[in-house]
Structure formats: structure tokens, C-alpha cells
């Protein structure tokens, strides 16, 4: 997954990183890697702290929770101004989040593989993920994808009537 995430960041790094005078050209690849790593770490921490609910909270509003983490990492590693780092993160993170959601929806990312990567892939993970994904398969089509969010959202709406 980290490789796929790195590729998504590269696809969206044009103006924010590569054509940005705040980041010297010789550091572009490092800035892209730092951005990818920070996004991955943010998602990993969300899984560890709150599972699917943690991920949903993290990616809402275009990934604003992730943007802060990316901005901090870029500012610390490259010594750029916090506002410049926030601008870079604000340009890249929403596009990357949208790309991840699109790939999950189209089957380009496998939920079980993603969760295995995020939780370090210990020996009992298969059983845990099997139970998790089958319980999350709201539309019962045999896969856990964005199509299941409608059912989850409907269920949550019912709680607040």
C-alpha cells in the first residue's frame, strides 16, 4: 500500500512540491516520500486508535486531520514556513484522499491488504479482518468497498431519529 500511496502523492505533487521554490529541486523526492509517509502514519494511527471510525474521522473534510500531520512533517524536515507547509498539505492531501477512495471503490486497493499493512500484519489478522470486513459488508456483495458506506450511513441516521 505504501508504494501505491507514494504513487498517488507523486501524481499530485506537481505544483505543491515540484514547482514550489520553498522546496529545492534536489529535495523533491524526499518531500514526496515525507508526505507519503506522514499520510500513511496518520492512517495507521487512526486504525490503531479507533479502527474504521478513526479512519472515517481522519478523512472527513478532505483529510484535514491528515493535512496537519503532513504540514508539521514538512515544516520540521525541510525547515519551511508553517504556512507554506500547510499550503502544500492542503493542495496534496485532499487529492490523495480522493484517489484512495476512488481506488478502494474501483477495487484498486484491497481493504484487507490495506488493514493488514496498517496493523503490521500479525498472525491473527486474517481472522480479525475476515470478521471485520464481513460485518462491514452492508450491501452483502461479498466485498467491503465504498458501496457499503451508504448502508452504514443509513444505520447511523437511524440512531439520531
Task: Return the ∠ at Cα 129 (arms to 126 and 130), rounded to 5°.
Answer: 80
Q: Which domain holds residue 84?
A: 2-159
How does residue 147 score in pLDDT terms, banded at 50, 70 and 90? Answer: low
d(CA 54, CA 52): 5
For residues 95-112, give the mean pLDDT: 75
Instruction: Say how many domains are in the chain.
Output: 1
Name the more confident of 64 and 109: 64
pLDDT band with cut points at 50, 70 and 90 for residue 80: very high
Burial class (CB in 10 A: 0-12, 13-18, 19+), 114: buried
Q: How far, rounded to the nearest angstrom, does the alpha carbon of residue 32 sit from its chain's CA centroid?
A: 15
In this predicted structure, the answer to whether residue 105 has a pLDDT above a threshold of 70 is: yes
Q: Rounded mean pLDDT of the chain?
A: 74
Amino acid at each position: 500500500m505504501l508504494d501505491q500511496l507514494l504513487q498517488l502523492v507523486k501524481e499530485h505533487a506537481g505544483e505543491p512540491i515540484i514547482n514550489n521554490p520553498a522546496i529545492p529541486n534536489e529535495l523533491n523526492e524526499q518531500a514526496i516520500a515525507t508526505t507519503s509517509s506522514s499520510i500513511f502514519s496518520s492512517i495507521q494511527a487512526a486504525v490503531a486508535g479507533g479502527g474504521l471510525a478513526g479512519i472515517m474521522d481522519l478523512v472527513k473534510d478532505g483529510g484535514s486531520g491528515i493535512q496537519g500531520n503532513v504540514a508539521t512533517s514538512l515544516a520540521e524536515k525541510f525547515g519551511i514556513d508553517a504556512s507554506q507547509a500547510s499550503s502544500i498539505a492542503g493542495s496534496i492531501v485532499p487529492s490523495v484522499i480522493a484517489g484512495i477512495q476512488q481506488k478502494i471503490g474501483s477495487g484498486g486497493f484491497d481493504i484487507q491488504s490495506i488493514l493488514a499493512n496498517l496493523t503490521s500484519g500479525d498472525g491473527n489478522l486474517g481472522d480479525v479482518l475476515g470478521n471485520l470486513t464481513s460485518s462491514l459488508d452492508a450491501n452483502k456483495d461479498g466485498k467491503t468497498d465504498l458501496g457499503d458506506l451508504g448502508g452504514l450511513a443509513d444505520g447511523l441516521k437511524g440512531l439520531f431519529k
